[in-house]
Amino acid sequence: MKKNYLSREGYEKLDKELYDLKTRGRKEIANEIAEARSKGDLSENAEYDAAKEAQGHLEKRIAELDNILATSTIIDEKNINTSKAYLLSTVTIRNLKMKKEMKYTLVSKDEADFKLGKISVDSPIGKAVLGTEIGQVVKVKVPAGTLELEILNIER
């Protein structure tokens, strides 16, 4: 079983989502199913079929979150060594071809949010940057070609 590493913030966000789905989400689906059931013949009831399908998706997400949280270890950011890029490190990189600087925080796939500058360590850039040191240049194959990225800074 694969171990998940999360920040305290990421763990709490997933835990809150799980609680919401188990309480409010299940209640809403149960109400939708009851309402659709009250409309008569279930064999030709599209609302009932849609509500049951939504229930299946909800239960699948609940099971996923249960598994993620059960196999997670919370990383204490205070203990992160900043000499190399690790999970929860914030890394400033420069695209050597475009001469553009970017700043990303390396997170697990469950916390990744590109809009917030959080990239997964399972992404091509995340994999390439993980374990690097300041001054190192890495090559990353992406759909648009190969990027050369220089590690400018690593912080917590």
Least-confidence region, from 39-48, 94-103, 131-140: 39-48
- Tell me the angle at which helices 8-20 and 46-70 cross, rounded to the nearest 10 degrees: 150
Q: pLDDT band at 117, cuts 50/70/90?
A: very high
Task: Give the global pTM.
Answer: 0.71
- Let me know if 40 is exposed, middle or buried by CB neighbors in 10 A (0-12, 13-18, 19+): exposed
Classify each residue of 89-101 as buried b or exposed e, where b means 16 or more C-beta atoms within 10 Å of its C-beta: bbbebbeeeeeee
Report the CATH number at residue 134: 3.10.50.30
Distance CA 153, CA 150 (A): 9
| Percentage of the chain exceeding pLDDT 70 | 96
Q: Which two structure tokens, joined as six digits, stand for 81?
A: 């060594």
| Cβ within 8 Å of residue 32, ≥6 positions away | 47, 51, 54
Domain termination site, one of 19, 50, 74: 74
pLDDT digits (tens, 9 = 90+) for 28-62: 999 998 988 887 776 777 888 888 999 999 999 99
Q: pLDDT band at 1, cuts 50/70/90?
A: low
41 and 70 fall within a common domain: yes
pLDDT, residue 144, reads 84
Report the CATH number at residue 13: 1.10.287.180
